[in-house]
Each structure stands twice: as C-alpha cells, then as structure tokens.
Amino acid sequence: MKLHIESMTCGGCARSVTAAIKDVDPAATVDIDLPGRNVKIESSQPVESFTKVLEDVGFPAR
C-alpha cells in the first residue's frame, strides 16, 4: 500500500512515521520517499490500522 503524508518533511518526520508503522506491524517493510512525501508499506495489516496510528502521531495520511 502507498500513502501520501503531506506533513512528512524531514528525516525526523520519516523516522517518526516508520516507528508508528512498526508499532502496528513490527514485520512491516517500510519504504520512505521523502521528496515525494510518500510511504510504501508492505504488511498484512489493513490500511486503516496505519492511517489511524499515523493520524494519532500527527502525520495524517491519504
């Protein structure tokens, strides 16, 4: 799944996003495209699990 996170603007943001995703699924594969503000997640968890936790930590995704 691919999500766009407009508020992800720096390396610190990317680390926070990755940590939030790993909290939902420690086995998830996370690929960050910082210039494009996108994140690609490979996981068996539903997308809603990730959008909820990302919003909770201040990074709403669409």
pLDDT band (50, 70, 90) for residue 58 = very high
**Can you list the domains of the chain with their CATH numbers?**
2-56 (3.30.70.100)
User: Rounded to 5, what percent of the chain is helix, strand, coil?
Assistant: 40, 20, 40
Number of helices (H), then strands (E), in the chain: 2, 3
Residues 7-56: pLDDT tens digits? 999 999 999 999 999 999 999 999 999 999 999 999 999 999 999 999 99
